[in-house]
Amino acid sequence: MFKKGQRWISRMEPELGLGTLRAVENNGRRVCIQFEASDLVRHYSMESAPLERACFSPGDVVFLRDSSTFTVTKVETKDGLFHYHGKGNVVSEEKLSDTMSFSTPKERLGAGLFDATSTFDLRLQARNLLHQYHRSSVMGFLGGRVELIPHQFYIAGAVASRYLPRVLLADETGLGKTIEASLIMHRLLLSERISRVLILVPDSLVHQWFVEMYRRFNLSFSIVNESFLACIKKTDNLFLEEQLFICPMHCMEENFFLKQRALDAPWDMVVVDEAHHVDPCGETHGFLKHIGHGSAGMMLLTATPEQLGVERHFAHLKLLDPHRYTTLDAHRKEAAAYEKTVQELSAHMEKQVGRDGTLGKSLEMRLDCYGPGRSIFRNTRAVIKGFPVRKGEIYPLLSPHDEIRWLARLLKQLKSEKVLLICSTRERAMAIGKVLREVMTLKFTQFDESMTLLQRDRSAAWFSEKEGARLMICSEIGSEGRNFQFCHHLVLFDLPRNPELLEQRIGRLDRIGQARDIEIHVPFLKGSSQEVLARWYKDGTGIFHGHVSGLCQIHGRFKSTLNSLCNACDQGNTLDGRALDELIKETHIHTRAIEASLSRGKDRLLELNSFRPQPARALIKSIEAQDNDTTLEMFLLSVFDFFNVFHDEVMPRTHTLTFDMAHPGFPVPALKQDGMTVTFDRNIAVTRGEMDFITWDHPLVHGAMELLLGTEKGNCAFVQYRSDGEFSLFLEAIYLLECVVPAHLHMDRFLPVTPIRVVVNHRLEDVTKEYVGQIFSKRLMDGTGAFLREYPEIKEVLLPGMIRACADLAEKQSKQIMATAGEEMGLVLGKEVERLTRLQQKNPAVGGDEVDLARTHLQDLKKGLATARPRLDALRMIYQSV
């Protein structure tokens, strides 16, 4: 019976708040409901009104329009209106607050606000999958758009597992130091052990790092650029407004105010690329020195840690651990003693390294106990296999106009082969493309700094397609961050005078995973500075025929003579052939000497410490298992359907998404509002940069989960269960065992948010095991609130007791789960404390800070575990009919 003044809730729009019935209209066929909190009036047909009467029971807390509250002790009905007793007062339902909401499972069940049982199942599946993800040992290692290269993941796993990672990553060029550092950061960021990161890089690498972080790991960094510097003195500390920053080294060197602002901001991790360029007397070194050794992680990246002398190398080690590396003399003495230790261990190593490259347990313990392996990781091409052979040719040209004709002839000779061309500037790249169009018909694309990131992605994608562009013309930016292993021919115009920049160019193709030999083609104008560089690189350094170690030292030795010869040619003078021949001869001799010296200095123990195949294989096997599992794909497609995101499979495990009809809160990635293509296949993702690689690490997955679980969606359902048994009532309750501790403790390893499912019947008996699985779920059909209204004693008498019974069962399960987590915590971290204590006695590279952190970490986790409590997340009432 509808009466004026009654309070009603819209089942379709519960966010409108409590509505008040203002009138019965049209001869009793329509009602008028006013939602004052939303300033709306709705008119509903009596026959199909999606309305539920707002009714509270004894024990419920209600809010009044005067902002007061009280607990209901008794409910009476007078003239069709509810009157609530409490605090010695009697209040008509008309005085209830208009903004009262029904979001908790108990509130919604009591108010008759139900979701579809499929939504309840989707929410429960999300909770279970999220629990598995947070416990996973590969969380943060899944989402990188990278190939699964063992030595990179070994280093990432080893460093990310430390309490305070402060290391020198010194793999040779092309082995992936940037990927290693990025994997470590990604793992630590997603597990919330760190949140604020500063990356310091040479100016030429700022864009490369930004692109790598965004394209490969979906991390968006802010760049310290001119506009940032212009605002740094006028506003509050801009370093506190974002979490992730990339800063050019020269800014830190030249801007004292910037350095002070950076020091005033707290950092969890500082990364320095090309760390050998950091002058121990410079501002950058001074900044790094003040970054708290006991509170912030640090990663220094350099392919040549000792190329500028042992003094600078020692200065870098002292940045990592000033307590461990105290004086240069002590370091030299230790190094001498260490070499003796290496000789003593060599025989044991050769015997104990298995045929498959695995290490015996006793050898692993020796490697932990001796050497600098905890501070330095260095892999070399001599140890890591899988690199292609370089085949370089230089082509003398008689006239500058011959350049494009030569290129056209080469492209015709190579037929369908793809070619990457790198030149010096954007203007040069555009000019080459313009003239080439006049000479021949060819599908080609360009790649330069004038293009947006999305345009570059599309250009690279077209180049990667089998029937796509045959030629990509790049400015110098083409030697940043992009790898084109599918291409085997590299054309180099405008050779740079810096051999390290040339190595970066070649490194776009010369990577691990390149399936064929690399053919390098270098045209040059006879008698020009380009001839000087082409011949010096080819016959002096040998860089066109293989990777050259010590390029910085080689360049430093001959830079002056090289520049003099080049400058003379650029000024119109005749090339001094004799001087060039002499330069090439001296360079060749010096290069061989440098390589021999580096080869003699190779540290077998450091190599073994930097790559252990067995744990690397185990980690990669776990990642591959996740890659091949279609659970996430199937679940996410269901989530897309729920939020009206249209998806269409365009190839196996690859889908296009459009968001025209999507829920307004759906986390559409930036710049993808018009749609996007996603793939769950790592092999496709690595070669197709325009597609998003979807794993559990992807922000789209995290955002969709937050949207689903951050509201009441799916937290209450009322269903019918058809069976041959007698009439019964069941209550299915989902509790979340939660532990509120600081994120940096990474409690998720032992006790992530854990769903606990319990089912009781109306006799308050535990029937959880009897009602479980898909057979049970498939028999459930959505019910209506009419049943509960017909039998109000269910809500008023049975439901409170059933909820209490569920809570008791959840509490019992919680204690068992907490006990298991505590045992695992003590076993894993207790052993780690013992191991570090033992290592500290034998290896000074293990600092006291690390041991103290391990002990404190274990104590804090134990305290946090004791605070864990179950919280009700969802309810599903089931009535069994015959």
pLDDT for residue 568 is more than 50 = yes
CA distance 725 to 779: 13
Do 599 and 467 lie in one domain? The reply is yes
How many other CB atoms are found less than 10 A from the CB of residue 479?
Answer: 21
pLDDT for residue 462 is more than 50 = yes
Q: Worst-scoring range by mean pLDDT, 38-47, 122-131, 215-224?
A: 38-47
Q: What is the DSSP letter of 513?
A: T
Do 169 and 58 lie in one domain? The reply is no
Pairing mode, strands 471-474 and 444-447? parallel
Q: Is residue 14 part of a domain?
A: yes
Q: Is residue 744 part of a domain?
A: yes
The residue-averaged pLDDT of 202-218 equals 88
User: What percent of the chain has pLDDT above 90?
Assistant: 48
Residue bearing tokens 């015709």: 412
CA distances from 606 to 208, 368, 383, 412 (A): 29, 11, 12, 48
Q: For 378-411, how does the pLDDT look when each residue is reduced to its tens digit (9 = 90+)?
A: 888 777 877 788 999 999 999 988 999 999 999 9
Provide the CATH number for the domain around residue 236. 3.40.50.10810
For residue 708, give every residue at least 6 positions away whose Cβ sits within 8 Å of its Cβ, in sequence order, or none.
122, 123, 126, 639, 642, 714
CA dihedral 411, 416, 421, 426 (to 10 degrees): 100
Most confident of 56-65, 199-208, 861-870: 861-870
Do 422 and 294 lie in one domain? The reply is no
Residues paired with 692 in a beta bridge: 678
CA distance 231 to 258: 10
Interhelix angle 848-865/799-842, rounded to 10 degrees, is 170
**Token representation of residue 310:** 């042992």
Quote the domain boundaries for residue 472. 390-610
- Of the candidates 251, 259, 315, 313, the one whose C-alpha atom is nearest the C-alpha of residue 290 is 259
Do 429 and 496 lie in one domain? The reply is yes
| Residue-averaged pLDDT of the chain | 86
Q: How many alpha carbons fall within 13 Å on the CB side of residue 481?
A: 25
Q: For 135-144, how does the pLDDT look when each residue is reduced to its tens digit (9 = 90+)?
A: 999 999 999 9
Q: Is residue 284 part of a domain?
A: yes
The residue out of 101, 122, 137 marking a domain boundary is 101
Do 178 and 315 lie in one domain? The reply is yes
Question: What DSSP element (H or E) covers 287?
Answer: helix 283-290
CA distance 744 to 857: 10
Q: Is residue 560 part of a domain?
A: yes
Pairing mode, strands 19-25 and 30-35? antiparallel
The residue-averaged pLDDT of 542-547 equals 92
Do 94 and 184 lie in one domain? The reply is no
The residue out of 610, 638, 662 marking a domain boundary is 610
Q: Is residue 20 part of a domain?
A: yes
pLDDT for residue 480 is more than 60 = no
Q: How confident is the model at residue 356 (pLDDT cuts 50, 70, 90)?
A: very low
Q: Is residue 433 part of a domain?
A: yes
- Of the candidates 336, 313, 346, 309, the one whose C-alpha atom is nearest the C-alpha of residue 607 is 346
CA distance 718 to 52: 14
Q: How confident is the model at residue 855 (pLDDT cuts 50, 70, 90)?
A: confident
Do 284 and 396 lie in one domain? The reply is no
What is the number of structural domains in the chain?
A: 4
CA distance 133 to 386: 32
Residue 172: what pLDDT? 80
Do 91 and 157 lie in one domain? The reply is no
Do 403 and 502 lie in one domain? The reply is yes
Whether pTM > 0.85 for this model: the answer is no
Residues paired with 780 in a beta bridge: 721
The residue-averaged pLDDT of 492-500 equals 92
The residue out of 333, 353, 379 marking a domain boundary is 379
Provide the CATH number for the domain around residue 396. 3.40.50.300
Q: Is residue 191 part of a domain?
A: yes
- The end-to-end CA distance of the chain, in Å, is 30
Higher-pLDDT residue of 166 and 787 is 166
Q: Is residue 132 part of a domain?
A: no
The residue-averaged pLDDT of 230-251 equals 88
The residue-averaged pLDDT of 270-290 equals 87
Residue 507: what pLDDT? 82
Do 299 and 179 lie in one domain? The reply is yes
Higher-pLDDT residue of 344 and 822 is 822
Most confident of 91-105, 143-157, 602-616, 735-749: 143-157
pLDDT for residue 732 is more than 60 = yes
Residue 351: what pLDDT? 57
- Of the candidates 870, 867, 869, 859, the one whose C-alpha atom is nearest the C-alpha of residue 741 is 867
Question: What DSSP element (H or E) covers 301?
Answer: strand 297-301
Strands (E), 448-597: 471-474, 489-492, 518-525
Do 408 and 319 lie in one domain? The reply is no
Pairing mode, strands 269-272 and 754-761? unpaired
Residue 362: what pLDDT? 58
- Report residue 437: phi and psi, to 5°: -60, -30
696 neighbors 130 (Cβ within 8 angstroms): no
CA distance 708 to 104: 15
Residue 622: what pLDDT? 97
pLDDT for residue 601 is more than 70 = no
pLDDT for residue 92 is more than 60 = yes
4 neighbors 21 (Cβ within 8 angstroms): yes
Strands (E), 122-243: 166-169, 197-201, 222-223
The residue-averaged pLDDT of 605-617 equals 82
- Of the candidates 881, 70, 36, the one whose C-alpha atom is nearest the C-alpha of residue 21 is 36
- Report residue 233: phi and psi, to 5°: -90, -20
Provide the CATH number for the domain around residue 12. 2.30.30.140
